[in-house]
Chain A
Amino acid sequence: MDRETVERVARTAHIKLTEEEIQRYGDDLTEILTYFELLDEAPESDERGINPVEIADVLRDDEPRMDIDSDVLLRGMDTYEGYVRGPRLS
C-alpha cells in the first residue's frame, strides 16, 4: 500500500502515524492485501447476509424506563455541569 493511501486511511480512522509506522504498516498491509487476492477467485453467492444465522427484528413497547441511574453512568466520565465533556468543534 503506497504512502498516500496509508495516510488517507489513517486520517479517516483518526490515527496519527509516525514516519516509521507509515512505512511499517504500509509494508504489512501490502503483504496482507496481496494474500487477500485469494478472494478474487473464491466462488460468489447470491446470499449476502450480514449475520451467519437468521436474525429477526425484536421490538418492545416504547415505554420510558431507567435501567441505570444517570449519576452512575456519569461517574467515570469527565463532565461539566452534568454534561459529558468533549473537544471543541472548530
Chain B
Amino acid sequence: MSMKSTLENLESVNSKYFMFHAKTSDTDPGDAKFLFSAKDNLTSKDMETCAGSRILEGYFPAFDATAIAKMREAGGKLIGKTNMDEFGFGTFSTNSGFEVPRNPYDLERACGGSSGGSACAAAVFEDHVSLGVSTGGSICCPASFCGVYGIAPTYGRVSRYGLIDYGNSLDKIGVLSARAGDLRKYINVIAGRDERDPTSCVQPELRNEGRRMRSVAVPREGVEGLSKDVESAFNAALDELRRMGIEVEMVDMPSLKYAMPAYYVLATSEASTNLARYVGMRYGHQDGDYSLKFDDFFSDVRSRYFGDEAKRRILLGTFTRMAGYSDRYYSKARQVRQVVIQDYKRVLKDHDAVLAPTMPFTAPRFDDISKMSALDNYKADYLTVPANIAGTPHMSVPCGYGSDGMPIGMQFVADHWDEDVLFTMAEEWDKEFEIRKPEVSA
C-alpha cells in the first residue's frame, strides 16, 4: 500500500480499529520518506495531545517531543496520535477517556496496553512504524498481543523531553513495527543526548555492530502461570533458538517475584506527584468554578475529568508516600529495584539476554477484561515489570499463535545500553519466523 493510499484510507481504517485519537487530514504525503504514528502522551504541535485523559482535552502543545521532532527531521510524516490507557495506566488500553483500540486479529479483543493504539497501527498499516512508551511493559505487552516487534531501549537512551510523565524513573520511549529491521533503524533516529532531558545525557554511544546472541537465560520464575498456548509456543521458540545455535539455560532469579509490587509502588508514587499539575489551569479543560476556593476548585476539576484508574493510582501513590507509610512502601520499593538490577547483572554476566514469554496469555476479550479486579490487572504485568524497573532494554518478538489464532510474543532482556544484541536477534529471528498478518479491511 502506498503512502498516499494509507492516508486516503486513514479515516475508514480508524473507524474500524480506533487506533488514533487524533490524526492527520492530509491525503498527500508530499516529500515524506515514511509515515509514522506516536503514542498520544508525546507532545505534537500539529495535533491535540491528551495522553488518553479527558482532563487534557483541547490541549495543543506548543512544541514537539524530541522523539517526534527527530522522526520528522529524518523525513517522517506524523499521521496520528495513538489511543492509550489514561496516562499509561493500564494493561489493555481499555482505561482510556476516549476510544479503545481493537485488536486487528479479533475486534472483540484488546490490543494490550498501554501503547495499544501504536501496536494496532504497526500491525494494520503496511510499512508503518509507531513510537510507543513503556513504563511497566507498555511497549512489549501490546506488541505481543498484536503480533509485532516492539523495543523499549535502556532508560535514558531516548530523551523524554515532551513526554507526558507517568513515572519519571521508569518511562522509556521506544519503537513498534511489524518489520524487525525497524527497531535498529528508528531507535537510531530517536536516540541520543538531549540537554532538555538530563537523564539522556550520560548514555554511551548506541552500537550497531550486529553482535549475535549466543546464550539466553530463561528464569524459572518467568515460565510460571502461563496459559497452555503461551507455554507451548514458547517451548517451540526455545527449540528454534537452539536450532539457530543459541544456548538456552534455565536459571533462578528470585528477585523477580518482588518486582511487581515494587513497580506499582514506585510508578504510582511518581504518578501521583506528576498528576498534581492537572488542576484545570494551563492545560486541557479550564472550566473550573472560579467562585470556589483553590482547594475546592482543583478537587472539582480533577474529580470530574480523571478516569477511574487514574483516581485509583493517584490514591495508591499518595498513600505509599505518606508519612508513616513511605519507609514500608516507597523506600523498600527503591531497594527492591536495586536487588532486581543486581539479579539481572548476575545472570547477564554469563548470558546475552534473559528470555521469557512477554505475556502469560493471549489478548483477552473485552468482556473478560471487564470482570478483572484492579489487582488482577496489575498481576498480569508480572513478566514485563522486572525489566522496566531495572531500566534494562527489552524487546518483544512474535513467536507463535494460540489455538484462538491470537499472536504470542517472547521478551528478550539485555544489559543496560546493549540494544545492539537485541536488534541483531530481531533481524535473525525475522528470517526464521513468518508473521501471520491480520486480515485488514476498512
Contacts and interface: CB of A to CB of B under 8 A. Distances in A.
Nearest to A69: B62
Given A39-B261, A68-B62, A28 B374 contact: yes
Interface stretch (B2-10, B193-201, B406-414): B193-201
Interface stretch (B118-126, B127-135, B314-322, B361-369): B314-322
A81 interface: no
A48 B59 contact: no
A47 B338 contact: yes
B262 A42 contact: yes
B197 to A, nearest CB: 9
Given A13-B272, A49-B334, A77-B281, A39 B290 contact: no
Interface residues of A, number: 55
B389 A52 contact: yes
A88 B293 CA distance: 6
A66 to B, nearest CB: 12
B265 interface: yes
Contacts of A31: 373-375
A16 B202 contact: no
Contacts of A45: 335-336, 338-339, 342
A77 B288 CA distance: 13
Contacts of B63: 67-68
A73 to B, nearest CB: 5
Interface in B267-284: 272, 276, 279, 281-283
Nearest to A41: B258
Interface stretch (B70-78, B236-244, B298-306, B396-404): B298-306
Contacts of B294: 86-89
A29 B315 contact: yes
Contacts of A84: 281-282
A87 B311 contact: no
B281 A16 contact: no
Among B59, B60, B62, B281, which residue has the most Cβ atoms of chain A within 10 A?
B62
B322 A9 contact: yes
A21 B339 CA distance: 36
A48 B282 CA distance: 35
B283 A76 contact: yes
B198 A57 contact: yes
B1 interface: no
Interface in A2-60: 5-6, 9-10, 12-17, 21, 25, 28-29, 31-33, 35-36, 38-40, 42-45, 47-58, 60
A44 B195 CA distance: 34
Contact of B373 (A5, A28, A39, A85): A28
Interface string B244-267: 000000000001011001101100
Interface stretch (B33-41, B81-89, B325-333, B434-442): B325-333
A49 B63 CA distance: 31
22 contacts: A9-B319, A13-B272, A21-B311, A31-B374, A36-B265, A38-B258, A39-B258, A39-B261, A39-B265, A40-B332, A42-B339, A43-B335, A45-B338, A45-B342, A49-B338, A51-B169, A52-B391, A53-B154, A56-B202, A60-B195, A87-B292, A87-B297
Interface of B: 58-60, 62-63, 154-156, 169-170, 195, 198-199, 201-202, 255, 257-258, 261-262, 264-265, 272, 276, 279, 281-283, 286, 288, 290, 292-295, 297-300, 302-303, 306, 311-312, 314-316, 318-319, 322, 328-329, 331-339, 341-342, 373-375, 378-379, 389-392, 416
Given A39-B265, A78-B286, A88-B290, 13 more contacts: A13-B276, A13-B318, A15-B314, A31-B375, A32-B264, A35-B375, A51-B199, A53-B156, A55-B199, A57-B198, A84-B281, A85-B290, A88-B294
